[in-house]
């Protein structure tokens, strides 16, 4: 069981959306929170909001796709709050364009922030948790990892988020020896500004964008079928799961049948085909 009161937490992508909701919920429950975000004004605004409400917070600028930047953020987090025992590796960026219409920069940007961003943070913060034999790590994946063909034109995002599911479920086994909890969050639609105007694209991937991510007509149609949950509800669901050290959080129960059709049935058919092959002798 992972309680949060009196602990020090880092939330990446903490300046907006799900990260903001997690940071404020953690502070309300008595954790000291590092609000880490690539956009300084967002990190500062959430940290001030927490401080004004009587909580303890530090704003830290950080690009999670850059190892040196993560190490620097960790040093500032340790200076302010000592050992960090709760990590919410949540920063993420999206794109909804056909794979071959994306620039190399955008392809790399989506992959690096969503996948390597999480592993950079895990590899930076886990050694201290392992030394103290305790803590909890969470990474934000997505429902698309469980329903991979539901929303088309999402290739590097789905690849990175699917990688996070595998990574966290595999890592969980290693971490259990150190009494460190491990959870992967697979949100369905959440009412945030993701993709609106990605001013947060780092210079080495082309720099800030001043337009929303492109949506093809079919993607826009599919998006209309998605229910968007308030980020505060997602934060509540995550903290509940932490208390029981649950391996996975999903936020949209209505996507169960799509998961079964798109992943379970597809894998079962492949197992059936392998059995049929063996029966042929
Ligand atoms: N909103 C949804 O419907 C939805 C669904 C599934 C998964 N997710 C995932 O939830 C997480 C949070 O997204 P959100 O919806 O709250 O979006 P958001 O845009 O509101 O928040 C993302 C935050 O990440 C920050 N960020 C971007 N690049 C960064 C970088 N390189 N380093 C550090 N910070 C960076 C942004 O500045 C922003 O504050 C993401 O991982 C996203 O992929 C969102």
**CB within 6 Å of ligand 1 — which residues?**
12-13, 15-19, 37-39, 42, 62-65, 90-94, 113, 117, 140, 142, 187, 189-190, 192-194, 200, 202
Dist. CA 194 → ligand 1 center (Å): 6
Atom of ligand 1 nearest to the CA of 187: 6
The residue to mutate among 10, 14, 17, 88, having the most atoms of ligand 1 within 8 angstroms of its beta carbon, is: 17
For 8-253, the fitting CATH number among 3.40.1410.10, 3.30.930.10, 3.40.50.970, 3.40.50.720 is 3.40.50.720
For residue 1, the model assigns a pLDDT of 57
Whole-number CA gyration radius for the chain:
19
**How much distance in Å is there from the Cα of 91 to the middle of ligand 1?**
5
d(CA 69, CA 242): 27
The residues that are catalytic are: 157
Q: What is the pLDDT along the chain (281 residues), one digit of tens a residue?
A: 578 999 999 999 999 999 999 999 999 999 999 999 999 999 999 999 999 999 999 999 999 999 999 999 999 999 999 999 999 999 999 999 999 999 999 999 999 999 999 999 999 999 999 999 999 999 999 999 999 999 999 999 999 999 999 999 999 999 999 999 999 999 999 999 888 888 999 999 999 988 887 777 777 777 788 889 999 999 999 999 999 999 999 999 999 999 999 999 999 999 999 999 999 98
Q: How far is the CA of 83 from the centre of ligand 1 (A)?
A: 25
Instruction: Please state the domain extents for the chain.
Output: 8-253
Ligand 1 atom nearest the C-alpha of 14 is 39
Which residues is 41 bridged to in the sheet?
Answer: none
Distance 177 CA to ligand 1 centre (A): 31
What pLDDT score does 215 carry? 73
Name the residue at shortest CA distance from atom 32 of ligand 1: 63
- Taking the centre of ligand 1 as the mean of its atom positions, its distance from the CA of residue 255, in whole angstroms, is 21
- Residue indicated by tokens 């337009």: 211
**Which protein residue has the closest C-alpha to ligand 1 atom 16?**
17
Residue ID of nearest Cα to ligand 1 atom 8: 142
On whether the pTM is more than 0.85, the answer is: yes
pLDDT score recorded for residue 177: 98
């Amino acid at each position: 069981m992972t309680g949060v009161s009196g602990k020090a937490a880092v939330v990446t992508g903490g300046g907006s959306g799900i990260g903001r909701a997690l940071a404020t919920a953690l502070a309300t429950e008595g954790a000291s929170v590092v609000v880490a975000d690539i956009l300084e004004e967002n990190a500062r605004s959430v940290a001030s909001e927490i401080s004004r409400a009587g909580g303890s917070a530090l704003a830290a600028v950080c690009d999670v796709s850059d190892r040196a930047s993560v190490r620097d953020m960790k040093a500032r987090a340790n200076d302010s709050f000592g050992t960090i025992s709760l990590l919410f590796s949540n920063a993420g960026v999206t794109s909804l364009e056909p794979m071959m219409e994306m620039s190399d920069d955008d392809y790399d940007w989506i992959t690096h922030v969503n996948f390597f961003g999480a592993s950079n943070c895990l590899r930076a913060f886990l050694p201290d948790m392992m030394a103290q034999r305790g803590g909890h790590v969470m990474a934000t994946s997505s429902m698309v990892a469980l329903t991979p063909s539901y929303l088309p034109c999402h290739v590097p995002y789905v690849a990175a988020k699917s990688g996070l599911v595998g990574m966290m479920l595999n890592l969980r086994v290693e971490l259990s020896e150190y009494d460190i909890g491990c959870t992967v969050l697979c949100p369905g639609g959440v009412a945030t500004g993701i993709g609106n105007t990605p001013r947060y694209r780092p210079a080495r991937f082309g720099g800030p964008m001043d337009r929303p991510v492109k949506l093809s007509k079919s993607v826009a149609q599919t998006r209309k079928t998605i229910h968007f949950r308030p980020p505060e509800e997602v934060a509540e669901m995550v903290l509940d799961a932490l208390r029981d050290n649950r391996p996975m959080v999903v936020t949209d129960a209505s996507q169960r049948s799509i998961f079964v059709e798109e992943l379970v049935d597809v894998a079962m058919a492949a197992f059936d085909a392998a059995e049929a092959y063996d029966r042929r002798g």
